[in-house]
Amino acid sequence: MRFDVLTIFPELFCPHLRDGILGRAVKNGILHVKIINIRDFARGTHKTTDDRPFGGGNGMVMKPGPIYRALQSVDRANGSSLVVLLSPQGKAFDQSVAWELATLDQIILICGRYEGVDERIRLICVDSELSIGDYVLSGGELGAMVVMDAVSRLVPGVLGGERSNIEDSFQDGLLEYPQYTRPRVFQGKSVPPVLLSGDHEKIRLWRRKESLKRTLEKRPDLLKNASLDREDKEILAKLRK
Which spans of this chain sit near ligand SAM (rule: CB under 6 A)?
Answer: 86-89, 111-113, 115-117, 131-133, 135-140, 143
76-97 as b/e, with b when 16 or more CB fall inside 10 Å? ebeeebbbbbbbbebeebebeb
DSSP state string for 110-136: E--BTT-B-HHHHHHH-SEEEESSSS-
Assess whether 141 carries a catalytic annotation: no
- Is 162 in the active site? no
For the question of residue 168 being annotated catalytic, the response is yes
Which of 50, 153, 210, 232 is flagged as catalytic? 153
**CB count in 10 Å sphere of residue 129:** 15
Q: Burial-class residue 21 by CB neighbours within 10 Å (0-12, 13-18, 19+).
A: middle
The number of residues making up the chain comes to 241
Report the residue number, 117 or 212, with the smaller CB distance to ligand SAM: 117
Selected catalytic residue, list 168, 172, 214, 219: 168
Closest CB 42 distance from ligand SAM, rounded Å: 17
Q: Residue 152 or 215: which CB sits closer to ligand SAM?
A: 152
Nearest residue to ligand SAM, scored by beta-carbon proximity: 112
CB of 28 to ligand SAM, least distance (A): 29
Catalytic annotation on 220?
Answer: no
Kindly name the residue from 24, 39, 53, 88 that is annotated as catalytic.
88
**What 3-state DSSP class applies to 60?**
coil
Amino acid at 193: P
Is the CB of 86 or the CB of 150 nearer to ligand SAM? Answer: 86
Least separation in angstroms between residue 107's CB and ligand SAM is 14
Nearest distance, CB of residue 62 and ligand SAM, angstroms: 7
CA distance 97 to 81: 15
Catalytically annotated residues: 88, 115, 153, 168
